[in-house]
Structure 1
Amino acid sequence: MLYAVLALIGLGAGITTILFGFGGGFVIVPVLFQGISLAYGPETLAGQSAMHIAVATSTCLMIFSSLMATRKHHVAGTLQWDVIRPLLAYIAVGALIGAGAGTMVAGPWLRWAFIVYLGVTILDCLFRPGFTASNNGHTRSLGKTGSAVAGTVIGGIAACLGVGGSVMTVPLLRRRGASMTQATAMASPLTLPVSLAGTAGFVIFSWQEGQALGPWYLGYINLLALMALLAGSWLGIKLAATYIGRLPDQWHARSYIALLVIFWLAMLM
């Protein structure tokens, strides 16, 4: 039953990946955390590691979903590679550090870090000028120093919490002049180094724990959950690709904030 639910959640995650730039962590981490906690119980090793499993599995899924979404956006012509390229390497370095840190933080602390992080982001989007205003689509470069600092911080936080980094890259790019279509599109390739480095980190740093969890685990990655999520995500991305660039900019931005609030409430409960 859990895996059927995960396939449906994966469908929604695929849709939000294409249209809003996120779908891995914000949809999957809360659901997988609750599902594993209920399925195994708090007295088991899997139940006690539920948050780590959710974050690691979400991070691994993002390898595939970011590749699929990047391809769709590249075909649609919504990617600005001159803005993306300077950030990629720094995000990967930060992600490897963040994945290592994430395996050393207790599950309840990781959950609350996720909740606080998402809450601060919502407040920032609502009250700091620039996010909900219509932009002209001419994205300004961050420069070498800005790319290094922003990329490392984004990669570290994203991999530690299993969220892909889009919740930081989208507001950042909006304030640099990107339209919502451009900002959410560029979140997909920028998620790839987070997911690759983060997945490698979770496997390396949690190998022994994964062996103790059972045969369907690679480190903290639940392979059965990953396959169910991947099937749903593939279908969701395919269905949502036809709407790329069709959403009004301000409506798109406000919908992005509304979805963040929904996911924040789900994780809080």
Structure 2
Amino acid sequence: MSILVLFFVGSAVGVTTVLFGFGGGFVTVPIILFVDAARGPDALRIAIATSALVMLVNAVVATSATRRSILAHLRRRRSLFALLALGGAVGGVGALFVPDVVPRWGFVAYIGITVVDLLLRPGFLPRSGVTRRPKKAPDGRPLTDGWGIPIGGVASFLGVGGSVMTVPMMRRSGMDMSLATSLANPLTVAIAVPAMLVASVFGSSVASSPGLVGTVDVVSALALLAGAIPVIVLLRRRPPRIPDAVHSWAYLALLVVAATAVAVTG
């Protein structure tokens, strides 16, 4: 796949980062799997690590361009961020040493389960004639601290990105899609930093070949980011107005596309 194609794919990743909170994980993993298919069993580990770098940079850019009034919803959530980071580190280590079939089909299975859950369990997809009213978790927060480690661990182990878990949870707390997806970006930063560090520092003992730093495909990551960052900045400055129902159904459709792409690539 040429650098130019990766650039345009990166532009699409920029759109998903802003509109759906996906910092690149669920899009980047299938793409890098295809790009690095010739590397054999290491391709999935490379895809997950490269995804962590793309997610991190995109999420940082998106977060820095988000209004402070929105980010205020995560004020005084240091414990949650710390536990997300811990989970991200644990999941990143696990992804290095398990057979590639585990995270590959785990990715497909997890997204499949998520899609079924979003379709069947109320709270994510809007129902006609029903006005969403904010609900709170037992401690008064949509995302309790205790979810930090499992969210961070699953996100970094499978490369799905934390937003696959955090957006539905915040959505069910009563948030509209625009707010939930905006808050997913700073939460993704907490997961992606340790996951990327683990892949960069320890990945070379698992997969080592030209173009890799640890298990990160740097050239592909830079091409994706070159396409994504301008789009993120533009859409954050001029956010499109999308009806909440359309927004939530589009989120669901993209999950299906991502799971299908990884299954076919496998």
DSSP 3-state at the match of 2:114: helix
Supply the AA of the counterpart residue of 1:246: R
Alignment of 1:1-269 (within 5 A): 1-37=1-37, 40=38, 46-74=39-67, 77-79=69-71, 80-82=73-75, 85-133=78-126, 136=132, 138=134, 140-141=136-137, 143=139, 147-210=144-207, 212-214=208-210, 216-242=211-237, 244=239, 246-269=241-264
Deviation at 1:28, TM superposition (A): 0.9
Supply the AA of the counterpart residue of 2:156: A
Q: Deviations over 1:182-222 (max 9, x none)?
A: 11001000000111011111123323234x312x2111001
Distance 1:135 1:98 in 2: 38
Distance 1:169 1:24 in 2: 15
Distance 1:240 1:60 in 2: 21
In the superposition, the TM-score normalised over structure 1's length comes to 0.88
Distance 1:143 1:20 in 2: 26
Deviation at 1:87, TM superposition (A): 2.0
Distance 2:131 2:178 in 1: 10
Deviation at 1:5, TM superposition (A): 1.8
Distance 2:158 2:75 in 1: 27
Instruction: Mark the CA change 1:8 to 1:101 in structure 2 (over 3 Å): closer, same or farther.
Output: same
Aligned-residue RMSD, C-alpha: 2.2
CA contact (8 A) 1:59 1:163 kept: no
Distance 1:84 1:264 in 2: 31
CA contact (8 A) 1:115 1:264 kept: yes
Instruction: Mark the CA change 1:247 to 1:139 in structure 2 (over 3 Å): closer, same or farther.
Output: farther
- Kindly tell me the number of residue pairs found equivalent between the two proteins: 259
CA contact (8 A) 1:139 1:173 kept: no
Q: Deviations over 1:108-132 (max 9, x none)?
A: 2221111001101111111101001
Residue of structure 2 equivalent to 1:43: none
Instruction: Mark the CA change 1:55 to 1:86 in structure 2 (over 3 Å): closer, same or farther.
Output: same
Distance 2:202 2:131 in 1: 42
- Listed as ranges, the gaps of 5+ residues in structure 1 are 41-45
Deviation at 1:47, TM superposition (A): 2.6
Distance 2:89 2:140 in 1: 20
Deviation at 1:2, TM superposition (A): 3.1
Structure 1 stretch displaced more, 183-192 or 156-165: 156-165
Distance 1:142 1:109 in 2: 34
